[in-house]
Amino acid sequence: MNYDVAIIGCGVTGAAIAYELSKYNLRTVVLEAENDVASGTTKANSGIIHAGYDPKPGTLMARLNRTGNHEAHEICKKLDVKVSWCGSFVCAFDENDDKTVRKLYERGLENQIPELEILNADAVHSLEKNLSEKVTSALYAKTAGVVSPWELALAFAEVAVLNQVELKRNFFVSKISKIEKEKCNPQYNSAYSITSKNGETVNASFVINAAGVYADDIHSLVAKPQYEIKPSRGQYYLLDHEAKDLVSHVIFQCPSNGTKGILVSPTCHGNIIVGPDAVSTEKDDLSVTKEGLSQVAALAKKSVPSINLGLSIRNFSGVRANSNIDDFIIEEVPEAKGFIDFAGIKSPGLSAACAMGSEALSLLEKAGLHIESKKTFIDERHHIRFAELTPEEKEKLTKENPAYGRVICRCETITEGEIIAALNSPIKPVSVDGIKRRTNAGMGRCQGGFCSPRVIDLLIKSGIPPEQITQDKNGSYIIMEAL
């Protein structure tokens, strides 16, 4: 199959690029190695949309963080993505930290970040009563927020698919070959043949490498290594809704050792998230360790001494695509015309996501891609969140569709109607966690202990054979045939 553009990877970066390209008369395909979108770093991070004071001025990080934060307001609204613009604090605990806060403030001004303010101790504690008494000052960034990262990626990808972008899941890229000029689209001078480990092949005139922690491996299939991904694992606590009033802003400590430090933050779903640490690791290492969690706990209590980590309902980890270059790597590869890297997308990658599409389009045009806007383009997405409806709206909906009156997930009040809608969405989930990412079923206190069997039943009724249902990624089978 021949395409104009192939995007390798459907995390939030690849999905954002697919969304932007779906506005044009292009044949675009997204190649995702896993059985669902948002299955890598996107599903396991802090969910913060940073204000943009932290990146070094003049970098891609600084520019795209600022633009991405600004554009997220409109995009999250029209694509119906949960977001809360709660603001953030960077807390100081001594004179050295006070100086760091001042430097971050000045850097933020240089990065043209609006609504920054340095607060004294009294002002900080008036806004966050549970912060440590040892906090001496804080940088207050009003434009920071929290978002559901997997929902943002899903929204981008679903709208792209609605606008005729093709998504190929379980397409693990194993080989990329240049195609002879004579066999290319006559409009362009080069093209690539991309082969999966299962032998499936697609051809594309242009390729976007958005493969996350595997971006350097994909790059090396077409050119000599120019950078190295050095993955870093971060571990978290997720606290029950009972802890929701602990803090109302994202609480950072002063950054050190190349990280933004341990945070204590509300989520857009009403939980509190705590973490992460930063440990050099392998690309597929999602382990959680006693030592790592103990370090996270100790540092979190520095900010919020009263935090009750006994309210944790889940521990998890995510791997970041850190690289040996202190910036995003976004460029056409010199030795491979038409092949564009979006690599090293570490923090603030999520914050920059809403700007990635236009960045990719600009680079593709410079590389020679011809674009023409579509006359018709679906640029919205809506879904029902039953728990957030008024009593009158709930009554009306359940009369119209009784499935919305049957609660499947008690912890989060997720109904059968919402799960059926997810199963009929543009990108059908194939796993229990795929349902969780689309509806929040299983995200609550019992972590699916009550609702998982009923979710499995609905997956079976949707046409998935019982023995093929997984918890999440391929191989995590739940039901086994009797021996």
Q: Please identify which of the residues 50, 219, 249, 269 carries the catalytic annotation.
A: 50
DSSP class per residue in 132-183: -TT--EEEEETT-EEE-HHHHHHHHHHHHHHTT-EEE-S--EEEEEEPPGGG
CATH 3.50.50.60 domain span(s) along the chain? 2-42+150-229+325-366
Over 357-394, what HEC string results? HHHHHHHHHHCCCCCCECCCCCCCCCCCCHHHCCHHHH
Q: Is 433 exposed, middle or buried (0-12, 13-18, 19+ CB in 10 A)?
A: buried
Residue 453 has pLDDT above 90, yes or no: yes
Ramachandran bin of 463, using left for φ above 0, alpha for ψ from -120 to 50, beta for the remaining angles? left
Please tell me the predicted confidence (pLDDT) of residue 197. Answer: 96
Assess contact for 411 and 440: CB atoms under 8 A.
no
Residue 259 has pLDDT above 80, yes or no: no
The Cβ of residue 157 has, within 10 Å, a number of other Cβ atoms equal to: 28
Say if strands 329-332 and 272-275 run parallel, antiparallel, or are unpaired.
Answer: unpaired
- Residue 283 CA to residue 264 CA, distance in Å, equals 26
- Residue 286, token pair as written in the block: 């999602």
pLDDT in tens, 154-191: 999 999 999 999 999 999 999 999 987 666 677 787 79
Per CATH, the homologous superfamily of domain 2-42+150-229+325-366 is FAD/NAD(P)-binding domain (3.50.50.60)
Residue 140 has pLDDT above 70, yes or no: yes
Residue 483 has pLDDT above 60, yes or no: no
Q: What H or E segment, with its residue span, contains residue 28? A: strand 28-31
Give the list of residues 6+ apart from residue 58 with CB closer than 8 angstroms, or none: none
- Residue 221 CA to residue 362 CA, distance in Å, equals 24
- Residue 341 CA to residue 328 CA, distance in Å, equals 10
The CATH number that domain 88-142+232-320 falls under is 3.30.9.10
- Residue 345 CA to residue 55 CA, distance in Å, equals 13
pLDDT band at 7 (very low <50, low <70, confident <90, very high): very high
- Residue 279, token pair as written in the block: 């440990």
- Residue 95, token pair as written in the block: 């004179």
Rounded percentage of the chain residues whose pLDDT exceeds 90? 95
CATH 3.30.9.10 domain span(s) along the chain? 88-142+232-320
Instruction: Specify whether 50 is catalytic.
Output: yes
Separation of CA 350 from chain center = 6
Q: 254: which DSSP letter?
A: P
Q: What is the pTM of this model?
A: 0.97
- Residue 437 CA to residue 272 CA, distance in Å, equals 17
